[in-house]
Amino acid sequence: MRTSVNASDITIIPRLRWQLPLVLLVTVLISYFDRMNITYAIAKIGAEYGWGTKEIGQYGGLLMSIFYVGYGLANMFLSPIGAKFGPRKSLMVIIVLFSLFTVLSAPVAMMFTVFIFVRICLGLSEGIHFPMMNILIRNWFPAHERSRANSIWLLGLFLSMVLAPFIVVPIIEHLGWRSMFYILGVAGMVVSIPFVFLFVRDTPKEHPAMTETEIDYIQAGMEPEEPQTSTIWEGYKSFFRKKAYWVAMLAGICNNMVAFGLLSWLPTYFTEGRGLPFSSLTWATSIPYSLSLVGIMLWSFIGDKTNKRAYLAGVGYLGAGICAYFATTASNIYVAVAIFTVTIFINVAFASNEFAIMQKIVPKQNLAAGVGFYNGFTMMLGGGIGPVVIGQVLATTGSYETAILSITFICAIAGTIMFILGRMIKY
């Protein structure tokens, strides 16, 4: 029989568990390349269609946002199925699918309706990625380490934003945007599948190299188990009835409006709104996200140490809104890039602690459904609406500065919500 391990006696505990989020980081990096490649290709695709600024705002925003419809639906309704299938197997299946639909984007891109359908399918295939990783982190890490564990795989998200300009832009520039879709699609299967197959297991007990000492340490830091629910609907009710879940939902929607609005439109804003040459996107779009790699580790560390994760995110939002205002009104492109860098650095205080908060609110046995519904709903509304809102502001005003500036209002709302959530959950 295993004996309990003192969670504070960390010096004698093996650390094989930290291998898991590093592998998940690789899968996130590849999936985000496949998700965001459209933001770099839209200007070139629009040129072949003969689109002007208005059409780029309308049709480009639709191509960016429609992904999140499929993504949100899969999160909300397929996550419980993925949980029953097992997170490891589910990850391998979705990697194959999102790689396939990335490849298919190349031959269908000039058939707009079909391209829309493929973007929806890409979203569907990526949909349960985050819920499955949340199950793995919840199974593999004690509560007091989860912000840091989540932040490691979330680094893949921000690392993709830093690396994409240096990978995607040169491919588009030298080989064409169609070749970019082919190359990224094939890379997804070649790189991600072997890592998941070799290093990921559903629970620590299933990993052949895990020691009894480390397993005991993980179990000692787990929250008490809640009663099993008898039906799927009872499982959903276990978190639907919690007010904190819906408050967190509002914050997540605002977060995705800001994050994916910026992610989707920043490259076009720099080239079309600021007159930056397309080749200069390699530095202009990577620099703002480079500091976020430090930020996500810093904010997650502070969140774990202070146990004030929601308040930390609230402060981050208010600061990000102020910085976004000064970035869009800066007269110099170099100053604008510098201030956008600070904006994103501060804003990742939410992302660093987002899923640790969900893992706190949602019961363990319903985590896939809870995180899936949360991630799907916030992505479908926030990720779907954010790029469209900015695109419509652009189409209406003809001003890229005004379009980007619209996120400052959303930051103020998000900051207020996070302070309310902090008072509710004390976490």
pLDDT tens-digit map of 155-185? 888 888 788 888 888 899 889 999 999 999 9
Q: Could you read off the pLDDT of 201-231 as tens digits, one per residue?
A: 999 999 988 888 999 898 887 776 665 555 6
DSSP string, 272-334: IIS---GGGHHHHTTHHHHHHHHHHHHHHHHHHHHS-HHHHHHHHHHHHHHHHHHHHH-SSHH
DSSP string, 86-147: -HHHHHHHHHHHHHHHHHHHHHHTTSHHHHHHHHHHHHHHHTTHHHHHHHHHHHHS-GGGHH
pLDDT for residue 366: 84
Q: Please indicate, yes or no, whether the overall pTM of this predicted structure exceeds 0.85.
A: no
Kindly tell me the burial class for residue 113, based on how many C-beta atoms sit within 10 Å of its own C-beta (0-12, 13-18, 19 or more): exposed
Report the candidate in 338, 331, 285, 385 with the shortest Cα–Cα distance to residue 43.
285
Predicted confidence band at 14 (pLDDT cuts at 50, 70, 90)? confident
Q: φ and ψ at 276, to 5 degrees?
A: -75, 135
Q: What's the rounded mean pLDDT across residues 77-97? A: 91
- Does 331 reside within a domain? yes
CA angle centred on 298, ends 297 and 300, rounded to 5°? 65
pLDDT for residue 39: 81
- Does 210 reside within a domain? no
Q: Could you read off the pLDDT of 93-137 as tens digits, one per residue?
A: 999 999 999 999 999 988 989 999 999 999 999 989 998 998 999
Q: Give the whole-angstrom CA distance, residue 21 versus residue 91.
A: 13
- Does 240 reside within a domain? yes
Looking at per-residue pLDDT, the higher value among 180 and 274 belongs to 180
- % of the chain at pLDDT higher than 90: 33
- Does 3 reside within a domain? no
Question: Domain containing 169 — which CATH number?
Answer: 1.20.1250.20
- Of 12-16, 91-95, 199-203, 333-337, the one with minimum mean pLDDT is 12-16
Q: Which domain holds residue 371?
A: 19-199+233-425
Kindly tell me the burial class for residue 332, based on how many C-beta atoms sit within 10 Å of its own C-beta (0-12, 13-18, 19 or more): exposed
- Does 7 reside within a domain? no
- The answer to whether residue 272 scores a pLDDT higher than 50 is yes
- Does 220 reside within a domain? no
- The answer to whether residue 398 scores a pLDDT higher than 60 is yes
Looking at per-residue pLDDT, the higher value among 283 and 362 belongs to 362
The terminus-to-terminus CA distance of the chain in angstroms comes to 33
Q: What's the rounded mean pLDDT across residues 398-418? A: 84
- The answer to whether residue 280 scores a pLDDT higher than 50 is yes
- Does 219 reside within a domain? no
- % of the chain at pLDDT higher than 70: 94
pLDDT for residue 100: 95
The mean of the pLDDT values for the chain is 85
- The answer to whether residue 8 scores a pLDDT higher than 70 is no
- Does 379 reside within a domain? yes
Report the candidate in 304, 335, 302 with the shortest Cα–Cα distance to residue 316.
302
Q: Are 411 and 318 in contact (CB under 8 A)?
A: yes
Q: Could you read off the pLDDT of 240-269 as tens digits, one per residue?
A: 889 999 999 999 999 888 887 777 777 777
Q: Report the number of distinct structural domains present in the chain.
A: 1
